[in-house]
Amino acid sequence: MKVKVSGEAFDVRVVTDRGELTDAEADVMGGLLFAARNVSRIGIKRGFEALKKGVEFSVSIENPTETLTGRAGWLFDASVFAVEPQEVSLQIPEGRSQEQKFTLKALTDSASLQSLPRLEFNVIAGGRRHRFHREVRFLEELRTPHQRAAPVLDGQLAEWGACLC
């Protein structure tokens, strides 16, 4: 949080993990909710070979309020990643959504977390400007056993056969 005190007045704002300030008119709880909503991630399945060839994915933007207009552009280390298209225009009427397709390609064999691309939105809705982003994160898939009923703790292992315990 950032608190600015000037005489008898004060201004409280929530700072996101990328240093962005919430709207000055937002209250503290609203600011916390704004920060939580607007720093989510774009999950891409992990796979080195696929990333070298390029992975296509889509981002859906929902607009429950007034008409939203603006741009979304990628911020990334161009020596490590390529993203196409690098920027898109947004024009989303109230109550509608818009889907954008992108292709992410790895140009090197490794990358630091700081070099991962993030999609930055700069939009206007209801006469107010909003800036937020979506970060790329790579997902690992795991298979986990599932039992409809818990095994009985009676010393017999027959019910435990499907578990990887």
Residue range 54-82, pLDDT digits in tens: 988 888 888 877 888 999 999 999 999 99
More confident position, 162 or 28: 162
| 34, two tokens | 């704004």
Sequence-distant contacts of 140-146: CB under 8 A, at least 24 apart: 140/46, 141/45, 141/46
Q: Is the dihedral of CA 118, 122, 126, 128 positive or negative?
A: positive
End-to-end CA distance of the chain: 44
Name the CATH superfamily for 40-141. Immunoglobulins (2.60.40.10)
The mean pLDDT value for 14-31 works out to: 53
User: 76 in helix, strand or coil?
Assistant: coil
pLDDT at 26 over 50: no
Local structure of residue 160 (DSSP, 8 states): G
Q: Flag the least confident range among 56-70, 118-132, 135-149.
A: 135-149
Give the lowest-confidence range in 76-85, 115-124, 136-145.
136-145
Neighbours of 136 (CB within 10 A): 20
Helix (H, G, I), strand (E, B) or coil at 47: coil
**What are the sequence ranges of the domains in the chain?**
1-39, 40-141
pLDDT over 60 (residue 31): no
pLDDT of residue 25: 45
Query: For the chain, what is the mean pLDDT?
Result: 75
